[in-house]
Structures are given as structure tokens and as C-alpha cells.
Amino acid sequence: MITDVAIIGAGATGLFTALDLSLRGIKVTVIDRGGLISGTSGRMHGLLHSGARYVSNDMTSAIQCIEENTILSRIAPHAIFDTKGLFVAVKGDDESFIEEFVKGLEEAGIPYSEVKNVLELEPNLSKDLIYAVQVPDKVVDPFRLFAGVAYEAKRNGAKFLLYTQVKKISGSKIITEKGEVESKLIINAAGPWAPSISAMHSNESKVIELMPTIGVMLVYDKRLNNMVLNRLRPPSDGDILVPYYNTSILGTTAQVVEDPDNAEISDEDIQYLIEEGSAMIPKLSELKPKRFYYSVRPLLKGTDARSATRDFEIYDEGDMLTIVGGKLTTSRLMAEKLSDVASEKIANNSKSRTATTPIPDVLSIYALKNTIGDEIYGYGYAFSRLEEVLQYD
């Protein structure tokens, strides 16, 4: 197969990059060892960030999030639910942080309003509540969003090689278990697996340094909150509860791991999440989670997982571009910046159009099963019918 750009990784950034480049008239082939968003992107928390979480320690990411929150809500309204979000402080929390937090919201340009009757809105909140502020956090269904992104990329000429393992990279040629893909440029959008792909390209053991970080989330079999609930403190474990369809999802931990394919989740991790979340929602201590799942964040290397930026970087490795860091909320922006560099490299002067291109609700078209609902984060979510359409139509 011959293409202009070969993208390794069918996660959030890889799919938005495929759409961005295909809209510019560039021939794109997407390769992934699994299916659509079968890695980190399909195991996210469900939160479309307003950026408020990062105003105290990562202003760049905060500003990116509020801008992309607005764009994604406009181009994919079918996949995003405007629940809004609350940041709440309870007795014992550092009250001096409240003023710092509000100043950060103002600096980032994030709309906010203090809420007085918060227990009327969220009756399951702790009675020890001392302060609450509302921000434009939202909930995103990544399956509905990226099914549409992939389909729109396909409609504009993108090709897909899913469930296809990359075996070797020689220059800008990718050798897979199903054949060779020759391209002008390779884009490495493999998330926490990006260093392995980069090493395969450069024949070195370590080129791109990341801090792969496990995030564990607990799913409760009832909806306990109407808005996204956040603990008003510096980012920590067990301080976000997301209302996701008929469930609530509590998260998350942040533990650095060596190998994203081999992570161990302990009972202590789960119990700690429950204990921390119960300070905000006491009922969590009485309920047994239906299940847990985890994802591996491809964070830029820093001193520790909580202080690490959620910004992103693009590495130019000659005939390969590697992108690491970021969040699902900022994946469209990441893809735009990456596509700008890629387009320049292959002498295409077209501009990005993803900020204004509507994303179709293709899950409604294909009536896919096992993609949303009770077992959304299980392995049954693979987009079997859509993936057939992408690869063989």
C-alpha cells in the first residue's frame, strides 16, 4: 500500500490527525494493532474538561481545555452532554486554595459562578460542604465522538488497517503482519506506546521519554450526581465523580508504570479511591462499585504524575513525527498542530478545517451494539460493524 502519510495509532489524536490531513487532500492510512480507540482513549473518565482542574498548576493546559471544550461541543453536540461541573470544598480542605483557584479561573478565561443552594442541586454531596463554584465541565462519550471522526476521515479518503501489528519500520516504510505501507511520512500517535514505535524507527532502545501513568476508575451502577463533581483542591486521587449515562464514574489514581501493557491494580488502590471520594459523596462508602477499569496516560516526563503538565510535544525524527502528552479534551488541537507540521514536510500548504467540520453521529446510522451502555468500558465495545465499513467498503 502506498500513501502520503501513515499514522500509527487509532486513538483520539491519531483519528483527529487522519481527519485533519484527509480534509487537506492528503492521502492517509491509519494503522493500529487493535481497533478504534482501543487503548487509552477508549478508557478515559468521560470528562470533557473545562480546564478548571489545571488552573492551579498547569495554566497552558487549562487554557487549551476551555478552548477545545467549546470547539468540540460545537462540532460534535451528539457526543457531548452539558452537565456543567462543580468544584466543592469540604471541612478540612485548605480554604486559602479557594481564592487561588478563582483567580486561576479568571486568568484562564474559564466562566464560573458561585453556587449557594448546592445541596438542592446535588443532594448526595457531603453536608460538610463549605464552598462550591460552577464551571463548564461537560461529559463526553468518546465512542460516539470518535466513531464519527473516523467515519468522516474515511469519507474524505483515509484508509484503515485495524488489528494490524507493526513489525518493523525502515525509513518511512512500515512492515506489518499484513503487508507493507510505503509513505512520505510516518506519524507516531501511539500514546503510551509511542516510545516503542520511536525506538523501532530509530533502532535505539529509548528515544522519546514519557511517564506512562495508570489511572484507575470505579463505575457505580447508579447515577449519583447530575453535574461533574470535583474536589476543590490541587489535583489528587479520588476527587472527580462523572455522571455517565445511568452510572457514575469515580476517579482517578496516578501511578507511574514502566510498561503500559503490564499494570497491576491493587485492592488498596480501589479502597483509597473510595475513601477519598466519600469525603465529597458520603454514599460512596456504602455502595459497592460495579467494576473498575484503568487507562495509561502518555504524560510528558516530569517530577511526578500529579505535577506533570497535560500539555503536549511534537518530536521531529526526520521521516517520522511523534506526538506525546495531552488529553482527549485537547486531541483535536494536538492533531491540528501535528498536521500543520506534517503538511509542511510534504509540501502541502492547506489549512486545518477540523474546528469547523461537523462530526456525524454514525453510531445511530449503524446501530452498533456493545459500544455504549452498561459495559462500555469492557472489551465488547469494539466497533465491529463500523470497523468493517472503514476497512472494506
Q: Is 286 exposed, middle or buried (0-12, 13-18, 19+ CB in 10 A)?
A: exposed
What's the average model confidence in pLDDT over 349-363?
94
Greater model confidence, 386 or 100: 100
Q: What is the pTM assigned to this prediction?
A: 0.92
Give the per-residue pLDDT at 369.
Answer: 43
| Residue 383 pLDDT class (50, 70, 90 cuts) | low
Contacts of 245 (CB under 8 A, 6+ apart): 223, 372, 373, 376
Decide if pLDDT at 381 tops 70: no
* Distance of alpha carbon 70 from alpha carbon 64, whole angstroms: 10
Positive or negative, the CA dihedral 337, 341, 346, 347 is positive
Gap between the Cα atoms of 393 and 382, Å rounded: 18
Confidence of residue 118 (pLDDT cuts 50, 70, 90): very high
CA distances from 199 to 192, 208, 217, 261 (A): 13, 8, 31, 17
In angstroms, what CA-CA distances link 323 with 84, 192, 295, 312? 30, 10, 18, 7
Q: Is the predicted pLDDT of residue 380 greater than 50, yes or no?
A: no
pLDDT confidence tier of residue 372, bands split at 50, 70 and 90: very low
- β-partners of residue 244 are 247
Residue 252 confidence (pLDDT): 87
Strands 47-48 and 138-140: antiparallel
pLDDT over 60 (residue 333): yes
What number is the average pLDDT over the span 193-211? 81
| Chain position carrying cell 511517564 | 211
Q: Which three cell numbers stand for residue 310?
A: 497535560
| pLDDT confidence of residue 204 | 62
Domains, the chain, with CATH or none: 5-42+142-209+309-392 (3.50.50.60)
- The residue with greater pLDDT, 116 or 366, is 116
Does the structure show a pLDDT above 60 at 306? yes
